[in-house]
């Protein structure tokens, strides 16, 4: 059981630590189109991302797939950029951006899963219980994402209902900030 706790903590920190800005920005871009009334949709969205992330992480750990870490690290901010851009262009469509985000979360989770694969592959290779370690990591990842989403939704309540910011303006503001940061990250991580 201590292995589960170790890998759970690692999954949690993969989302919550200071070094996880790329994941946090992605979650922000995904979740900013929702309100607290959409909690069920947001949880499905987070789970879709975890499924994609878990799938490529498992395939990478079992050495079924392997990609250049330089390209993966570059593609991660590209997924953030595309998600934020989708929000900006679809900010006026009712629910359109939210539906598209389910597919973005699942597909882009596949790319994000490869980002951590090299580090965890080495740890899990030494462990005899790879499945249990992967499970613990993914549960920690999911818990960290739910925590981030909760913070985003609480802050949204303050701005949308407390300060009476228009939802359209809120989505545009957050998505524009995420877009700008993702461009800088992508430029910093150019693989060539």
Give residues with Cβ within 8 angstroms of 159, minimum separation 6: 165, 170
Instruction: Provide the pLDDT for residue 155.
Output: 96
The closest alpha carbon to 57, from 87, 25, 23, belongs to: 23
Tell me the pTM: 0.88
Residue ranges in the chain modelled with pLDDT below 50: none
pLDDT tens, position by position, 147-158: 999 999 999 999
**How would DSSP label each residue in 31-90?**
HTT--GGGHHHHHHHHHHHHHHHHHHHHHHHTTS----HHHHHHHHHHHHHHHHHHHHHT
15/23 Cα distance (integer angstroms): 6
């Amino acid at each position: 059981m201590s292995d589960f706790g170790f890998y759970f903590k690692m999954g949690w920190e993969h989302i919550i630590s200071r070094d996880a800005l790329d994941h946090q920005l992605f979650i922000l871009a995904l979740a900013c189109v929702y309100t607290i009334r959409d909690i069920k949709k947001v949880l499905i969205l987070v789970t879709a991302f975890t499924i994609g992330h878990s799938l490529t992480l498992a395939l990478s750990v079992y050495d079924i797939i392997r990609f250049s870490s330089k390209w993966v690290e570059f593609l991660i901010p590209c997924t953030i950029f595309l998600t934020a851009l989708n929000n900006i262009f679809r900010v006026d469509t009712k629910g359109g951006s939210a539906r598209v985000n389910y597919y973005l979360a699942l597909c882009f989770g596949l790319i994000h899963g490869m980002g951590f694969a090299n580090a965890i592959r080495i740890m899990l290779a030494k462990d005899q219980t790879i499945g249990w370690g992967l499970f613990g990591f993914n549960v920690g990842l999911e818990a960290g994402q739910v925590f981030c989403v909760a913070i985003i939704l609480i802050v949204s309540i303050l701005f949308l209902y407390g300060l009476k910011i228009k939802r359209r303006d809120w989505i545009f503001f957050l998505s524009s900030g995420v877009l700008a940061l993702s461009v800088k990250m992508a430029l910093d991580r150019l693989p060539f």
